Structure formats: C-alpha cells, structure tokens
C-alpha cells in the first residue's frame, strides 16, 4: 500500500510539473495575441520584459527605415552631412512606389525635410534620396545598413533595400528591431520629427502635402516619443514604439498584427506592461557634487565634480538596484571652468559597464600664482580636503 501511495504521488507530481512550462507559455502568449512576434524591453535593452517569437525572422516592412534614419543621423554626427544641406531629387527617388512625400525630380530639398518625411510619413522617395547622398546608390547604402546591423549584434537581420518594400532576401526579428530603435532615439534631432502629429508641408514648387504621423501612439499614448510603423501583405501590420514615463524608458516591437488597430492595441498593452513592471533609480544625478577631483597648479587643490547627465539603473519594482558608480578622473590642471570635463563616471552592474557619463567641474578653479605658492610654503594656503 505504501509503495502504491508513493507511486501515485510521484505520478501526480510529474503530471503537475509537466503542465508548469505550458501554463507559463500560455500566460506569455496571452499578453498580446494575433501577432507573429513581439518583444518588450526597457530603454537600455538590459531587461527583457516580454518576448514572443522574438528572434524568429520575418519581413518587417517600413520598420527597415529605422536603420535608414539611424545611418543618416550618424552621418550628420560625423560631419559628413548636415541638416541644412540641400539635395536634388533624382528620378530614381521620385519613382519609388508605396508611401511617399511626393518629391519632384530636379527639385532641391534640405536633408532635414527628407528626414522628416521618412520619420513622419514613412516616405520611400525620401529614403532613396538620402541613401544616394550618403553612399552613392541605394545598393551601396544597403551594404552600409547590413554592416551597421552586424556591429549592433543584429544577428537575425538582413536588409535588401532602404525602404522595406517587399524583397525575398529582406528580414529581421522583433528583438533586432528594438536594438536599432534604441540607437535611433539617442539623437535629440530625431525627436524633433518623431513627435509631429500633423503638418502641412510646402514643397519648393508651392504644392502643399499634409503629413500625418503613421504612428498614432505619438498622439494617443502618454509618453510615446518615437517609433516606426510598417505594413506589407507579407509582413502584416508592424510597429516599433518607444515611450517614457516617470524617467523610465521602454521599447516595444510588434510584427505581423492582423490589422492596424491590433498593432496599436498590442503595443499599448506591451508598454503598459513595461511601466507596471519597472522603474528607474538614479545612482548619479546631474548637478549633485559627487566627487572631488585633484587639480594641479590651482588655487584650490580639489574641484567638486558632477555628471554630465543622470546615470540610472532600471530595476523591477520592489527590487533594489545592484549597480555601483565608479569614477575615473583625469590629471587636470588649472585654470578650469565650471562644465569642463575632468573624468568619467561609469554605471557598473555585475562587473559590466551599462552606462557612462562625463565628470564635469561644478566651479571655476583659477591658476595659482607665485604668491599662492609662497603662502602655501609658509603654511597659510587653505587646503580643501
């Protein structure tokens, strides 16, 4: 009898445990339904908050333009292109199908307006013109896109064009899309366009095109500050979105929703889930005197320093941060002005650097004189310790 009871208990426990993984999987898939893939992370990418077929390869339609915009802003950052530079529209760019800002070949447009068209209305014609300017041709630009994807660790991505128009060799995954969006939203200039909801754009020839943001969350979701929609028959309805609430950033990606309403609903659910789960904890605050850095040849021996921007760690609500701030200061000499760089601050979690900021002086430090040196020698020099 005892052996029978033990046997039955063993069988019961085995059956019970066999259902645990399935139950968890079902719980995950119920967060968003009717999509091919989904991914949710905090703004730093350090915490995966939800994933569903997140590394499976799918066509992603116009979410490809995230990389097109990213390479454009990186080119500007390097000084190889400017927002004010004017580009003459090529016949190839004008002839692009799909979503457009209706550029005319031969007309001149500033880079800033072309980027606005890419970000707000997903303009294929503007994409191709930017690609031709940066790399000489769309084909060469696509090579740059794939090189950058490899640098970012996007192992399940291959770009075949700069627009996302259907191509049998083009694919990505939800997780990789979040990676390139995370890089794009680092650029302040991007947000000047991503938050536009509605704008009447006047072309050089006087025509007016009404540009409406394809990302409805910009208007209807609190804190949404960017993202990119996409749709083709092959890809379905897609959306990558970024949002900030209470100093906490989150990025969601949805691929292959059945209709436009579903992709916005799924993205809303994901972002709400993120903000219910995580919070940001400041470990170093801009403006606070955090450390004193030695100064050579100065009237003061030390200068108080702060960080150039806040260093925060994203943690699950109810948990304490695990990161520490490590300071590395340079050998600096007076004179110094408030705001001058004097070192670096690193947010380190588990031995890995997660974020970095410059250490900057909070006050001026004048260069010492011979008189100061004599006073110090005589013991009258006030030494700050």
Classify residue 358 as exposed, middle or buried by CB count within 10 Å of its CB (0-12, 13-18, 19+): middle
* 90 in catalytic set: no
How far is 125 from 19, CA to CA, in rounded Å?
A: 52
Active-site option among 65, 116, 216, 279: 65
**Which one is catalytic: 36, 62, 72, 242?**
62
Phi first, then psi: what are they for 370, rounded to 5°? -60, -35
User: CB of 70 within 8 A of CB of 152?
Assistant: no
Q: Is 209 exposed, middle or buried (0-12, 13-18, 19+ CB in 10 A)?
A: middle
Catalytic pick among 36, 72, 116, 122? 122
Count CB atoms within 10 A of the CB of residue 125.
28
Strand pairing of 248-257 and 108-110?
A: unpaired
* Sequence-ordered list of residues with C-beta below 8 angstroms from that of 26, at least 6 positions apart, any chain: none
Q: Is 62 a catalytic residue?
A: yes
β-strands 291-296, 311-316 pairing: unpaired
The helix/strand/coil state of 119 is helix
Residues annotated as catalytic are: 62, 65, 122
């Amino acid at each position: 009898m005892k052996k029978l009871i033990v046997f039955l208990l063993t069988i019961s426990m085995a059956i019970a445990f066999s259902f645990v993984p399935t139950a968890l999987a079902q719980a995950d898939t119920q967060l968003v339904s009717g999509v091919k893939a989904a991914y949710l992370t905090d703004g730093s990418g350090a915490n995966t908050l939800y994933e569903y077929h997140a590394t499976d390869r799918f066509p992603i339609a116009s979410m490809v333009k995230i990389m097109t915009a990213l390479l454009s802003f990186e080119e500007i950052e390097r000084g190889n292109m400017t927002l004010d530079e004017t580009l003459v529209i090529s016949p190839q760019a004008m002839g692009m199908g799909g979503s457009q800002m209706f550029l005319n070949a031969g007309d001149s447009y500033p880079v800033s307006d072309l980027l606005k068209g890419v970000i707000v209305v997903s303009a294929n014609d503007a994409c191709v013109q930017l690609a031709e300017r940066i790399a000489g041709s769309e084909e060469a630009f696509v090579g740059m896109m794939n090189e950058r994807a490899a640098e970012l660790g996007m192992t399940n991505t291959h770009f075949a064009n700069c627009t996302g128009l259907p191509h049998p060799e083009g694919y990505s995954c939800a997780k990789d899309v979040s990676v390139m969006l995370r890089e794009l939203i680092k650029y302040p200039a991007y947000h000047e366009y991503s938050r536009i909801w509605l704008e009447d754009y006047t072309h050089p020839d006087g025509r007016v095109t009404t540009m409406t943001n394809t990302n409805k969350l910009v208007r209807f979701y609190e804190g949404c500050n960017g993202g990119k929609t996409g749709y083709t028959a092959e890809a379905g309805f897609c959306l990558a979105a970024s949002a900030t609430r209470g100093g906490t950033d989150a990025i969601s990606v949805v691929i292959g929703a059945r209709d436009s309403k579903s992709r916005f609903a799924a993205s809303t659910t994901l972002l709400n889930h993120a903000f219910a789960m995580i919070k940001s904890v400041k470990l170093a605050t801009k403006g606070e005197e955090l450390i004193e850095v030695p100064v050579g040849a100065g009237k003061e021996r030390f200068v108080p320093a702060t960080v150039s921007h806040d260093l925060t760690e994203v943690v699950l609500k109810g948990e304490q941060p695990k990161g520490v701030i490590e300071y590395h200061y340079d050998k600096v000499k007076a004179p110094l002005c408030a705001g001058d760089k004097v070192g670096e601050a690193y947010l380190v979690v588990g031995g890995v650097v997660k974020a970095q900021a410059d250490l900057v002086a909070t006050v001026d430090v004048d260069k010492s004189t011979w008189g100061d040196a004599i006073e110090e020698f005589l013991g009258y020099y006030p030494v700050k310790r």
